[in-house]
A and B are shown apart, each in its own frame.
Chain A
Amino acid sequence: MSNHEHREAAHQPVKRKEMSRRQFLSYTLGGATAFMAGGAVLPMIRFAVDPLLTQKTEGTFVKVVEESKITNEPQEFRFQVHQVDGWYESDPELTAWISRDQQGNVFALSPVCKHLGCTINWNTQNDNQYFCPCHEAKYSPEGKNLAVAPAPLDEYDLKIEDGFIYLGPIKPNTKV
């Protein structure tokens, strides 16, 4: 032991930056612990956030009605979409209010009130407006919010092919 110390003293000028035994052990044990904890936790985190990272399904278009049936007065049309919710597939029925604007262009409004999500109806108050029975929101024929609701009614993506109207995903109102 004393011999050893003596030799250390002799080598004084060449000061090597050495890791102490204690440091080495805490780095290796710490690293191994972090690795094992990460190995256990990361799969679970990726598992939990999967809905964030899965590709959104492309909105498909569904045939709803002949274009010739559409008037300036909004009319209610129902159509089915195929919906995949994880392991549960269903065909819920949706509703659209379809009409023509001043220039004669066809557009389709969603019936979901932009206040708190009740279902709106057309002209129930004989004022040529959309009306929501829940808290009396009112919308113009183009879906512009006239009372209570903070935003205009959403629109369906719409295309016309061979004289038929096809509706797609919901988008913010483009008319007002």
Chain B
Amino acid sequence: MFKGIYNWIDERLDITPMWRDVADHEVPEHVNPAHHFSAFVYCFGGLTFFITVIQILSGMFLTMYYVPDIINAYASVDYLQHKVAFGAIVRGMHHWGASLVIVMMFLHTLRVFFTGSYKAPREMNWVVGMLIFFIMLGLGLTGYLLPWDNKAYFATKVTLSIAESVPYIGPYIATLINGGEVVGAQTLTRFFAIHVFFLPGALLALLAAHFFMIRKQGISGPL
């Protein structure tokens, strides 16, 4: 039946060449753990992406209950964690995934570094990868404030003091990301908007560039 549906769509839209472009290509022997077990280091990029997908999905579901409002934010997180079925699981995925994605990204970066894959002609993909790294840090930072508990509040206070310590423009940067002079209602809405719209949008664009370049240049050769 699926074959039938596929053929029906393919007749109209000719999707087979697109599919071939994206996915139908050999995995070179030196990156295939079935040939050399040590090649598992080549999996960390894919694992980073896997966890990123989980972050985006679990985050989308969290927003079904979460409200970015200083009176209700904590109560909404408390509710979704303790009263909603599987709340501890879904929030747990997002919570632990946020740390795991950094770990995976770090291991992936180490692999790229020690296989020398950042060298010509792949310099641009190293740069894009670094931008992804900073976006991830931004996501972790802005997400951390959202539960609006003491830990979140004071972590953000510290963050803003760090931003403020930049020479000359520090106070302006701090006011801009704080959304005013007090860490409060406007900070929470600002961080929420950045966390769920601005940074994920930038992240998806950078991931697209990352994967496009990999597809174009292929995986780097054996050592």
Residues of A within 8 A of B175 (CB): 51-52
Residues of A within 8 A of B172 (CB): 52
User: Most B CB atoms within 10 A — which of A83, A85, A87?
Assistant: A85
**B154 engages A117 (CB within 8 Å):** yes
Interface residues contributed by chain A, number (CB under 8 Å): 13
**A51 engages B185 (CB within 8 Å):** no
Please judge, given known A-B contacts A116-B158, A117-B154, A117-B158, whether A85 and B185 are in contact too, CB under 8 Å. yes
Q: How far is the CB of A102 from chain B (nearest CB, A)?
A: 32
Q: B interface, by DSSP: helix, strand, loop or mixed?
A: helix
**B184 engages A85 (CB within 8 Å):** yes
Q: How far is the CA of A46 from the CA of B185 in the complex (A)?
A: 20
A49 at the interface (CB under 8 A from B): yes
A-B contact count (CB 8 A): 33
B124 at the interface (CB under 8 A from A): no
Please judge, given known A-B contacts A85-B186, A86-B186, A88-B185, whether A51 and B158 are in contact too, CB under 8 Å. no
**A85 engages B158 (CB within 8 Å):** no
Contact with A along B155-172 (1 / 0, CB 8 A): 001100100000000001
A56 at the interface (CB under 8 A from B): yes
Please judge, given known A-B contacts A85-B184, A116-B158, whether A49 and B176 are in contact too, CB under 8 Å. yes
Residues of B within 8 A of A116 (CB): 158
Q: How far is the CB of A125 from chain B (nearest CB, A)?
A: 24
Interface residues of B in 162-194 (CB under 8 A from A): 172, 175-176, 178-182, 184-186
Residues of A within 8 A of B154 (CB): 117
Interface residues of A in 109-159 (CB under 8 A from B): 116-117
Q: How far is the CB of A140 from chain B (nearest CB, A)?
A: 23
| CB-contact partner of B182 in A52, A54, A85, A87, under 8 A | A85
| Given contact pairs A52-B172, A85-B186, a sample of 7 additional A-B residue pairs in the complex whose CB atoms are under 8 Å apart | A51-B186, A52-B176, A85-B180, A85-B185, A88-B70, A88-B184, A117-B157
8 A-B residue pairs with CB within 8 Å: A51-B186, A54-B180, A56-B181, A85-B185, A85-B186, A86-B186, A88-B70, A117-B154
